[in-house]
Chains A and B, each alone.
Chain A
Amino acid sequence: MNKRIKVALAALLLLPCILAAAPRMGAGARVDAASGGFEFRIWIPTQSGALAFVAPQAIGIYTGSSTSNYYFYNVGLRAGILYRAENWISPFWSLGVGYGSNDGDYNHLGGRASVGISVAPFKYAEDESTWLSGLSGLRFEFDSGLLYRLNNNTYGSGTFENTEQWIFFPDFGAGFILSW
């Protein structure tokens, strides 16, 4: 069996274990220079009270006609820890990787390590019985850190002719997540 298929199967088998260990999940969207897209998040409580998270993300489009087509996509994975989750402003750190392609001509592979703050503006309504309590799990996240990104340009010849590496510190990322 192909090694990649084995890894994919192992990851698939691990998924129910991760989901079972995650009493809370969330969905949202985010963007940074390594990755971006719609995000699904699995929260895993730790013994110290902090919340670890694993968050796969993806976005893509395809348009086609009889003469041409166009696509882009991005997939990524982040993991990190949110501290002081009981507050409406909480710090977190995360590590992330992302890969994307713009019509096959421009591809990138990025990784970043970041710290940030997570703001839950409706946290105060958590114990209330109003409609706002449904938004108590909404968090807006802003982070900054070290970016490493590898860009490949094909310039239409079908080969990766030009490779360029970027390093930025600090960079910027932002997103939102609604947890339930």
Chain B
Amino acid sequence: MAFSRTAAVVLLLCSLTGTAFAGLGIGGQADMMCQGLALRASSGNGLTFEVVAHGRASDTDTFEYAAMGELRLFKIFNPENRVRFYAGGGAGAWMSRDKEWHYEYDPVFISYYTLENRWGISAAAIFGLDIVVIEMDDGSGITVMPEVQVGYYTRQYIEDIWIGPGAGIGFRYVW
């Protein structure tokens, strides 16, 4: 039963991806919430949903890792143009577990590490331009997306909080 429910959800998501979304895209994104590989799904009226993700892990005896992800929802207001304005919002989160080395000199030099688990979240309003730089006859092409943001950010590794303006840039192959 559990499997059939999971299968139904997967099938529903697949069908939504294939039918409800007029456009799909893949690319890269770097902004103050996340940096990583991006997947885009757009409806015919410009409503666009994107997932950005990035991660690393190694199975050393300490199992260190870092992962970050971002969800973006925005509206492209003039999707028929080559320079399109978009506005919306995004939320991101990151988690990491890394060694932090400590050094002491009293009475003799010793070094040791502790494992630091860190995490943070971010949320921001997004305003940007989706610029179609290359367009094929069938409508597929490459867009570049410079954007400005305003939001709450927790910067990775140092956990500092930043509330204020942010920026980002990305590119997408869309079809």
Contact = CB atoms under 8 A, between A and B. Distances in A.
Contacts of A117: 142, 173
Instruction: Give the secondary structure class of B's interface.
Output: strand
B54 interface: yes
Contacts of B54: 169-170
A87 B138 contact: yes
A166 B57 contact: yes
Given A89-B141, A89-B173, A117-B173, A165 B136 contact: no
B125 interface: no
Contacts of B137: 87
Given A87-B136, A89-B136, A89-B142, A164 B173 contact: no
B55 interface: yes
B42 to A, nearest CB: 16
B175 A84 contact: yes
Interface residues of B, number: 21
A180 interface: no
Find the residue from B36, B54, B57, B142 having the highest chain A CB count within 10 A.
B57
A167 interface: yes
A135 interface: no
A169 B37 contact: yes
A35 interface: no
Interface of B: 26, 28, 36-37, 53-60, 134, 136-138, 140-142, 173, 175
5 contacts: A84-B175, A87-B137, A89-B173, A117-B142, A166-B58
Q: Which 6 residue pairs spanning A and B have beta carbons closest together?
A: A170-B37, A165-B59, A167-B57, A169-B55, A87-B136, A117-B173
